[in-house]
Amino acid sequence: MRRTLALASLIALSFSAIAQTPAPAPEQTPAAAPAMDAPGVLRAAILAHGGADLINKFPAAKIKIKGCMAMPLAQQPVPFTWLVTYHMPTRYKQVLTIGLSGRPQTVVQIIDGDKVRQFVEGTEIPLAESDAAKLRQAMYVQNISRLTPLSDTKLYRLSLADDQLVCERPARALRVAADGRKEVTLFFDRGTGLLVRADRMGFDLMGKEAPMEELFMNYKDVRGVLYPSKTVVTIRGQKFIESEVLEFLPLERFDPTEFAAP
């Protein structure tokens, strides 16, 4: 069971940036891109993602995902399904079913304001503070991936990072810092403006801190909202998780009972 709970926390931290992205206008080939400071990069990204009003219209979503995870000594990747429900910035719920040794186990983890709870096969199991912190970090990255929260200069400090090629395309890099949070670097495709990568510190399967990279690909459209239907997560440069979104439903609100105990 402890192994299952550890994997649940790792997966939560690994997929925190699958966020709704209002569909941008058709891509145009720009003239030479002018130099920008960090606030300018953020403003351009928000505009490319449909503008603040449209982004803020959908603070909630329900996402169903399936994927597989590379495990040390395992002959085959470990399959999982993952249902995420959130209403930013204070409510987050994940229902994760992991197939270990042919015996799937389901873990439910919930953040509702200051409360963090965990249930395994319907029984509440206290969540270690270290794992609770990972879950809060997952919700934090999910929220900042919506971009408009980053406009609050009292909460977030933005700076430029080195631009890089992401999937062989140039991307602008924006580093995000906040008190009590680990830094996150977001990369935006220079052509489309879409979020295509997120870098931050995560944890390996031994629980040791390690650099983590997420790639977001194959954007699709639901209700005029774009979302990455495929995500690849690497730790220390090695593929850790590959997943695809089966269902994505952006919403304006959730009833608070959605985040009640199972």
59 lies in some domain: yes
167 lies in some domain: yes
234 lies in some domain: yes
Q: Report the number of distinct structural domains present in the chain.
A: 1
25 lies in some domain: no
pTM (predicted TM-score): 0.84
- What CATH number should be reported for the domain holding residue 190? 2.50.20.10
DSSP string spanning the chain? Answer: -HHHHHHHHHHHHHTTT---EEPPPPP---SSPPP--HHHHHHHHHHHTT-HHHHHH--EEEEEEEEEE--TT-SSPEEEEEEEEEETTTEEEEEEEEEETTEEEEEEEEEETTEEEEEETTEE-PPPHHHHHHHHHHHHHHHHTTSGGGG-TTT-EEEEEEEEEETTEEEEEEEEE-TTS--EEEEEETTT--EEEEEEEEE-TTS-EEEEEEEEEEEEEETTEEEEEEEEEEETTEEEEEEEEEEEEEES---GGGGS--
257 lies in some domain: no
198 lies in some domain: yes
Summarised one tens digit per residue, pLDDT across range 188-243 is 999 888 899 999 998 877 778 899 999 999 988 887 777 899 999 999 988 999 99
Summarised one tens digit per residue, pLDDT across range 1-50 is 444 444 455 555 555 545 555 444 444 444 445 568 999 999 988 887 77
139: domain range?
Answer: 2-19+37-243
